[in-house]
């Protein structure tokens, strides 16, 4: 509803009230009110700095802080009245503050603008959200390490081009997922470092004539430093784009995990089973158990990719400094954070409840001549050039295809028709266990290497937590 009784803080220059539809169309309070805690945090620091600089009296500062704390209590109790007529979270809080403490409330905005205020609020909020996201990534990584440790000896086919390539251990496969998440954590750490710069004090675009101490305000708010340039400070949204890019890459990784979980849990593969708690049924087919969680996460990746493109497009043609376009940065950013945290949370919970069908994995690994490379390596060790060994094994595989038998199922005499260098000891390398055990080096799929990698990974996580 259009409330003509509310006088906007900027109304002095205007002779007519804002059109009712325009008021609703341009308001952001419906979504930016979630920043209230950070808006109040920034205002308390700003008032504290103004008092230190003699711009506010100590009594005015105390009144402002007490009033802001009272407003926060009302918001958190659900009794605060948000007004669209007051446009955004800042004007709602400032108006409520002035109503509570009188004239001192009107002095809070000295030396700042909504332009540097919102840029500060979003950075404070996103900094905390990154910390929470990092914790959820670690929780998922821990779940993967626990499962990898349990399945360090479990053999399944490794694929390239979605064709059987070589046998690997399931623990090794899960550690590949872990490494993707390590890079994701690094990206968010790097992003957090760059966003932890304070815009407050840039005011509308040119700074302020008041003798403010931006270093002190930055210290109060936990920023590494104040932004160097006032124009850039109020108009920069690189941090939001960079965060969303990191989120998009992480969601791409989760989508890849999802694709594999969906395939592996199908009747055609039958490698794993997801807990009933993370699946749903069909309204018409009573036998169905649908992997809805990984499917939905796979779908949400496209949503986050879209937000990244949207933010890039939002900023691509903006001249310096602040423009109203930037109001459109918050909803995609909020949605990215909400869906990323939700996806990580459900994945961490789900991966702790995965059941492996080890025999199905093993049977699948024996198909598709997965130990062909092992036979080629065997021939090379017996003095045959790799390219010649490759041709020999190719002919042996072709024979096996015609016979409908894997290499390990051929007799020694059948194998020797392709090379007399093949001896009885060849069957040790043609077994699945022999194949994976032979990859016994750092980064290899051998079970003992998997266990060592898990120990190193846990050490990394624990060390970072202590730091």
Active-site option among 161, 277, 283, 317: 161
3-state SS string for 381-403: HCCCCHHHHHHHHHHHHHHHHHH
Distance of CA 160 to the CA centre of its chain: 26
Residue 282 falls in the annotated catalytic set = yes
Backbone CA torsion sign across 378, 380, 386, 388: negative
Whether the Cβ atoms of residue 202 and residue 115 lie closer than 8 Å to each other: yes
Contacts (Cβ under 8 Å, ≥6 apart) of 209: none
**Phi, psi of 121, rounded to the nearest 5 degrees:** -55, -50
**Phi, psi of 166, rounded to the nearest 5 degrees:** -145, 155
Neighbours of 116 (CB within 10 A): 27
Active-site option among 66, 73, 282, 452: 282
Distance CA 232, CA 192 (A): 18
Place of tokens 């069909």: 282
Output the six-digit token pair for 114: 């909504």
Whether the Cβ atoms of residue 199 and residue 32 lie closer than 8 Å to each other: no
Helix (H) or strand (E) holding 156: strand 155-160
Point out the residues that are catalytic.
Answer: 161, 282
């Amino acid at each position: 509803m259009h409330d003509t009784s509310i006088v906007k803080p900027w109304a002095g220059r205007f002779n007519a009230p804002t059109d009712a539809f325009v008021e609703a169309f341009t308001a952001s309070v419906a979504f930016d009110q979630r920043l209230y805690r950070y808006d109040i945090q920034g205002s308390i620091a700003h008032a504290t700095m103004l008092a230190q600089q003699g711009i506010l009296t100590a009594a005015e500062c105390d009144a402002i802080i007490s009033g802001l704390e009272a407003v926060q209590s009302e918001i958190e109790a659900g009794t605060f009245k948000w007004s669209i007529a007051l446009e955004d979270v800042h004007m709602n809080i400032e108006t409520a503050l002035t109503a509570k403490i009188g004239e001192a409330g009107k002095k809070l905005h000295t030396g700042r603008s909504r332009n540097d205020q919102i840029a500060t609020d979003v950075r404070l909020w996103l900094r905390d959200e990154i910390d929470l996201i990092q914790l959820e990534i670690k929780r998922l990584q821990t779940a993967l390490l626990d499962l990898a440790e349990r399945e360090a000896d479990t053999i399944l086919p490794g694929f390239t081009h979605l064709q059987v390539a070589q046998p690997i251990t399931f623990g090794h496969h899960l550690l590949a997922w872990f490494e993707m998440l390590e890079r994701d954590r690094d990206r968010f750490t790097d992003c957090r470092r760059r966003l932890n710069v304070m815009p407050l004090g840039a005011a509308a675009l040119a700074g302020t004539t008041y003798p403010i101490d931006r270093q002190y305000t930055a210290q109060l708010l936990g920023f590494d430093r104040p932004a160097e340039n006032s124009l850039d400070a109020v108009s920069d949204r690189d941090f939001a784009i960079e965060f969303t890019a990191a989120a998009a890459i992480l969601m791409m990784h989760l989508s890849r995990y999802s694709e594999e979980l969906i395939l592996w849990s199908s009747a055609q593969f039958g490698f794993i089973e997801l807990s009933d708690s993370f699946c749903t049924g069909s309204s018409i087919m009573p036998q169905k158990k649908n992997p809805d969680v990984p499917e939905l996460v796979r779908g949400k990746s496209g949503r986050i990719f879209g937000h990244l493109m949207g933010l890039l497009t939002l900023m691509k043609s903006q001249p310096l400094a602040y423009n109203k376009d930037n109001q459109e940065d918050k909803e995609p950013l909020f949605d990215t954070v909400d869906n990323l945290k939700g996806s990580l949370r459900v994945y961490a919970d789900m991966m702790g409840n995965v059941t492996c069908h080890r025999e199905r994995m093993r049977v699948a690994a024996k198909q598709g001549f997965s130990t062909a490379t092992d036979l080629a390596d065997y021939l090379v060790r017996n003095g045959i050039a790799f390219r010649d060994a490759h041709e020999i094994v190719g002919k042996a595989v072709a024979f096996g295809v015609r016979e409908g038998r894997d290499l390990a199922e051929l007799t020694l005499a059948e194998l020797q028709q392709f090379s007399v260098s093949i001896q009885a000891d060849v069957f040790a390398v043609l077994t699945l266990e022999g194949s994976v055990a032979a990859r016994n080096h750092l980064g290899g799929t051998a079970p003992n290497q998997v266990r060592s990698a898990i120990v190193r990974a846990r050490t990394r996580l624990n060390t970072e937590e202590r730091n």
